[in-house]
């Protein structure tokens, strides 16, 4: 079974396909379909944005679609990231964005943060809609570390493992991350179909 993942983010596509390896389910990305509509993330929550993408692309393609929206919430920077994480700091590359965060938190003892992921699954054939939200708690590290992962992973420190997300092997990240935990819920739904 092929499912459209409403993203052009190669890192997200890799995580989904890795999580479903051997299941008979594979994900394709926006680059694999003709003339995908541009869906603006105008929702106020991760769930809103995930569902906006999934509904628009299911209507466009007639395929089952997974929309996902995620972000980082840094408690010392309330309201600055969250659903706006991808647009934080004017769309600079993530290395620059992570440097800005590290500079902003310099000398701040409150480095608590969390990743949030919402997944929306829409199957136009059965009129099914499901939404899942999961989180992963961590802290902002004192520097960027690691080559794995993408986005904020080089500064998202996971205390239980003593490493940033970008230092963890993909098999570990795919057990503990916000997206991995939401994918577990998605698997339960797809296994029951």
Split into its structural domains, the chain has a count of 1
Task: Return the pLDDT at 88.
Answer: 80
The active-site residue out of 32, 69, 99, 127 is 69
Inter-residue contact 49 to 69 (CB < 8 Å): yes
DSSP E strands: which ranges in the chain?
A: 2-5, 26-28, 65-74, 112-123, 128-140, 156-158, 163-164
d(CA 48, CA 71): 13
pLDDT band at 193 (very low <50, low <70, confident <90, very high): low
Task: Return the pLDDT at 41.
Answer: 87
For the chain, what is the radius of gyration of the CA atoms? 17
Inter-residue contact 40 to 109 (CB < 8 Å): no
In the block, residue with structure tokens 């594979």: 26
Q: What percent of the chain has pLDDT over 90?
A: 75
pLDDT band at 50 (very low <50, low <70, confident <90, very high): very high
Which structural domain, as residue segments, surrounds residue 144? 2-191
3-class secondary structure, 179: helix
**The domain spanning residue 58 has which CATH number?**
3.90.950.10
User: Minimum mean pLDDT among 80-89, 96-105, 106-115: which range?
Assistant: 80-89
Task: Return the pLDDT at 133.
Answer: 96
Nearest to 140 by CA among 126, 154, 120, 161: 154
Active site residue 48: no
d(CA 88, CA 110): 20
Backbone torsions φ then ψ of 13, nearest 5 degrees: -60, -45
- Look up residue 24 and give its DSSP letter: T
The per-residue pLDDT for range 29-42, each reduced to its tens digit, is 999 999 999 898 89
Is 110 a residue whose pLDDT tops 70? Answer: yes
Task: Return the pLDDT at 174.
Answer: 83
d(CA 29, CA 8): 6
The per-residue pLDDT for range 128-160, each reduced to its tens digit, is 999 999 999 999 999 999 998 788 999 999 999
């Amino acid at each position: 079974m092929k499912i459209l993942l409403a993203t052009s983010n190669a890192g997200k596509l890799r995580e989904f396909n890795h999580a479903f390896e051997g299941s008979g389910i594979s994900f394709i990305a926006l680059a694999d379909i003709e003339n995908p509509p541009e869906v603006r993330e105008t929702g106020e929550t991760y769930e809103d944005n995930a569902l906006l993408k999934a509904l628009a692309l299911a209507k466009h393609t007639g395929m089952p679609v997974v929309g996902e929206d995620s972000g980082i919430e840094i408690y010392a920077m309330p309201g600055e990231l969250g659903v706006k994480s991808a647009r934080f700091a004017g769309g600079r590359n993530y290395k620059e964005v992570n440097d800005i965060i590290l500079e902003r938190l310099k000398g701040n003892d409150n480095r608590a943060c969390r990743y949030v992921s919402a997944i929306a699954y829409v199957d136009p054939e059965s009129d099914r809609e499901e939404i899942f939200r999961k989180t992963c708690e961590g802290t902002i590290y004192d520097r960027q570390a690691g080559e794995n992962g993408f986005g904020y992973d080089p500064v998202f420190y996971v205390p239980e493992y003593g490493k940033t997300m970008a230092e963890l092997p993909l098999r570990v990240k795919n057990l503990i991350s916000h997206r991995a935990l939401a994918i577990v819920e998605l698997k339960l739904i797809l296994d029951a179909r």
